[in-house]
Every structure is written in C-alpha cells, then in structure tokens.
Structure 1
Amino acid sequence: MVAYTSTPSDVEMGLEERTVVLVEKKSSTGWIWKVSVALLLVALCFGGVLLFAWYWNGQPEMTRSGQTEALIEKNTAEKTDPHYTLRRISSKAKAAIHLEGSYDDDESLKDELEWKNGQGQAFAQGGFRLVNNQIVIPQTGLYFVYSQASFRVSCSDGDEEGTGKHLTPLSHRIWRYSDSIGSKASLMSAVRSACQSTAQEDSYGDGQGWYNTIYLGAVFQLNRGDKLWTETNQLSQLETDEGKTFFGVFAL
C-alpha cells in the first residue's frame, strides 16, 4: 500500500517553486502472513515424516512380536512331551540309545520284557548295540542309565463283597554284567505295591485297574563291552503303549 503526502513549502516561494516529495509506506501485516504460511508448511512436512517413520518401524515390530509368541507356544508344547528332556540331552550326547518296551503273551519271550530299536521314539547312535535284548556299552566312561516300567493292575481279589486286603508287588530292576566283575550285578531296582486295599471297589469299574509307574535313573562308570538288561515282574500287567515303558543309556 502506497500513500502520498506533501510537505509544506515556503509560501513566499510561490506555487511555481513548490516541491512535492513522495513517501512510500509499507504494510506491516503482509510479511507476517508469509512467515506463518511457511511455518505451517514446515510443521505439516515434519509431522508427515514422523507418521511415516512410526508406521514403517511399527510393522516389523508387530511381526516380530507375533513370531515370538508363536515360538513360545511351540516350546511350551514340546516341553509337555514326556520324552522332551531325555531327547534333548541324548541328542547332544556323543553316544546314546533309547529303546521301547514290548510284551506279548503269544510270543516266545514270555519271561522277559522285550526291547525294540527303530520303532516309535527308539534309536541308537555312537556305537551302542542291542544284542540278545541287552545294551552293549561301546566305550569306557560315565553314562546315565535310565528305565521306566508302567503297569495297569487290577486290584480285585475275587471277593464279591470287596472286603479284605490284596497286595500286588511290582518290581523293576536293571542288571549289569562286566568282564572285570565276572558276574552280574544289580545297578538299580525298585518295588511298589499298586493295590493298598480292596475294601472299596476297583476305582475303574470297566476293568482298567490301577495305574502305577516305576522309574529308575542314575550315573555309572561303565566299561567297554559291559552289558545292561532289565528284569520286570507282572509282565502281563505291563503297559507297553508308545512312551510308557522304555530303557536307555547315554554318554556324559
């Protein structure tokens, strides 16, 4: 905006000699609007950059969070497996063997639990062998020896009134034969009574009976060529479904 003003001159000089001076007055509001618009544009640009950065970085974080939760669920499910700990330890061992138990009244081996390799969770590595239903130790050293026998026992004593007491001893033992000893020796054993009393009816009316488990496990110094085997009573009461009865050794 431009305004024009005239300055007073000497009256005596006359109209012909009067000088007119033009003075420009600039508006003070124009530059303020320009600065405000510029600041607003800068703020919008900066906000857009922040929003884009948040979206870009947030997506991978959400993906990583979902993957972590999935891994946790997977690990939890694995650890509920009864063989998880033994498989994890034996997989890192130099030598290991894990056998599944089997028993059939119709087979020729009616007086002992038969151990199977190569079925279910069973495996052998590092020189271990299964010979004549016995585990043969490959090298001299420290070994962890373990076994589990599971039973399903009927506690009925045949008394219609269900009175009296009936004890069914369950036993499971691991034997060792070493040339240095020259005879067999018991490594571990346990005995349990599955039926405490028949004063009340069998807890399973459908005849399934009482369920009981004997677990053995310890560390031993064994020699090359030593043989290990098991001895179990109440073979007809054994539960040999996958994972219930097993026998194994691994090197430490």
Structure 2
Amino acid sequence: MAYTTAPGDVEMGREERTVVLVEKKSSTGRTWKVSMALLVIILCLGGVLLSAWYWSRKPEMTQSGQTEALIKPDAAEKTDPHYTLSRISSKAKAAIHLEGFYDDGETSKVGLEWRSGQGQAFAQGGFKLRNNQIVIPQTGLYFVYSQASFRVSCSEGGEEEGAGKRLTPLSHRIWRYSDSIGTKASLMSAVRSACQNTAQEDSYSDGQGWYNAIYLGAVFQLNRGDRLWTETNQLAELETDEGRTFFGVFAL
C-alpha cells in the first residue's frame, strides 16, 4: 500500500487535509500465481504418465501371475517323488544305463543279461533294450561305456585247474551292428590276465578270490537304429552285485 495526499485548500491547514489510500498491484503476487499454475500442470502430466505406465505394465504382470499359478504344483505334487523324477527326465538328454545279471542255471544259454528298470538302471529319451541289445534312437554323437567285474579264485582246485586259470585271460568287448556297414564291428575291447600276482593269490587264499575289473568307454558317431551289445568270457567269474557290472550309452 502507498500513501498520497490529495491537493486541498492551504487555508484548511494540515489537520484537515484528506488522505487517499491508493493500492498498487505487486509483481510478486502475479509470479506466485504463475508458479502455482505451472506446478499444477506438472503434477497433472506426471499423473497421466504414471497412469499410462501402470496400465501398460498390468497385462504383463497379470500374465506372469497366471503363468506362475499354472506351473506351481500343489503340496501333494511337491512331495511326490514320481512327479520330481518325471520333471527331471523331461529335461534330461537321451540316456540308458543297464545292470548286468548272470546265473549259471537261468542265463547260461543267453550269457550276460542286461536289465533295465532295476536298481540304478534306467532308459529314457528313446533308448530301447531289445534282445539284450541297446537300440540307438537318433543319429549323433554318443558316449558308450561298460564295465565287467571279475572275481577269480586262483588257489581253488588242483594244480592243473589252477594253471589253466592262470593262462586264461579275462576279456570284455562291445559290438556294433549298423545297416550302413552291413555287418557287426567291434567298438571297444580289453583283455586282462587273471591270477598273475602270486602275492595277491596268497592274500586271497581264504577263498575270496582275485578281483579285477575291465572298463571301456569312448565317444562314437552312431546312426539311428544301430544296435550295441557286449561279449564277455569267464562268465562264471563275473561279479554282478552292487552295480559292479554295467553297460550304458548317453547322447552328447
């Protein structure tokens, strides 16, 4: 506010002069109003942008929540071992692992019998055990392996029988038949001498026998439909307990 004096009669004196109040508009008030308007506009724009971002993200969040709800198993499925094994098997590569079995009375005609679905043995990814042979499901690179374990009683029997065991080697071989070859071919083989160590023979004179194992393993390019099988001598000396003799293939 500013004060100004209106012109009057000089004779009236200073006491009778009329004082008029004149209001001057301040530039500070106008600046404040403009600032408030800009602030309101900024807040409105921020609200619009935030709302647009929220609605653009909501479908994705909803879809993610629905997917999580679909794949989340209930409490019973979580504790079911068959459910866990099926989930693991569905993501695993093709593989087969077989355990060997031999009995003089039951399998002497067949030889070393390979079994699936017992103990640690399994087959998945298209592998099949047919006529005691592994059938390859698809063409590709595979790791083929096998182990034959033996326990030979070198000190048992007469001198001639003992000498015969010393001269008879232990052998284990993996065969392959492929339509592209048209005949069987040896993939891997190994031979070990039995009862060659006198110290070992003496230490096992209580009848436990001389123990050794032949292991085979290598990578091969195999074709779909190829068949793999093993050939082992000294079957009566084989050890097939606790996974000591096995045969398997897995895809790379």
TM-score (norm. length: structure 1)? 0.59
Structure 2 CA distance, aligned partners of 1:183 and 1:115? 22
1:207 to partner: Cα distance:
1.1
1:175 to partner: Cα distance:
0.2
Deviates more, 1:91-100 or 1:216-225: 91-100
1:105 equivalent in structure 2: 104
Structure 1 CA distance, aligned partners of 2:109 and 2:148? 16
Structure 2 CA distance, aligned partners of 1:165 and 1:142? 39
Q: Assess if the C-alpha contact under 8 Å between 2:195 and 2:201 holds in 1.
A: no
Q: Structure 1: 5+ residue runs without aligned partners?
A: 1-89
1:93 to partner: Cα distance:
4.7
Q: Assess if the C-alpha contact under 8 Å between 2:144 and 2:218 holds in 1.
A: yes
Q: Assess if the C-alpha contact under 8 Å between 2:166 and 2:194 holds in 1.
A: no
1:250 partnered with 2:246: no
Q: Which residue identity lines up with residue 105 of structure 2 in the other structure?
A: D
2:69 equivalent in structure 1: none
Q: Assess if the C-alpha contact under 8 Å between 1:100 and 1:242 holds in 2.
A: no
Structure 2 CA distance, aligned partners of 1:91 and 1:192? 40
1:152 equivalent in structure 2: 151
1:174 to partner: Cα distance:
0.2
1:234 equivalent in structure 2: 234
Q: Assess if the C-alpha contact under 8 Å between 1:129 and 1:135 holds in 2.
A: yes
1:91 to partner: Cα distance:
9.9
Q: Assess if the C-alpha contact under 8 Å between 1:165 and 1:197 holds in 2.
A: no
1:198 to partner: Cα distance:
5.1
Q: Assess if the C-alpha contact under 8 Å between 1:168 and 1:195 holds in 2.
A: no
Structure 1 CA distance, aligned partners of 2:99 and 2:220? 22
Aligned ranges 1:18-29 → 2 under 5 Å: none
Aligned ranges 1:1-252 → 2 under 5 Å: 93-156=92-155, 158-159=158-159, 166-196=166-196, 202-252=202-252
Structure 2 CA distance, aligned partners of 1:173 and 1:194? 17
Distance 1:91 1:176, change over 3 A: farther
- Please tell me the root mean square deviation across aligned C-alpha atoms, in Å: 2.6
Percentage of identical aligned residues: 86
1:136 to partner: Cα distance:
0.1
Q: Assess if the C-alpha contact under 8 Å between 1:115 and 1:133 holds in 2.
A: yes
Q: Structure 2: 5+ residue runs without aligned partners?
A: 1-88
TM-score (norm. length: structure 2)? 0.59
How many residues were matched structurally? 162
1:112 to partner: Cα distance:
1.7
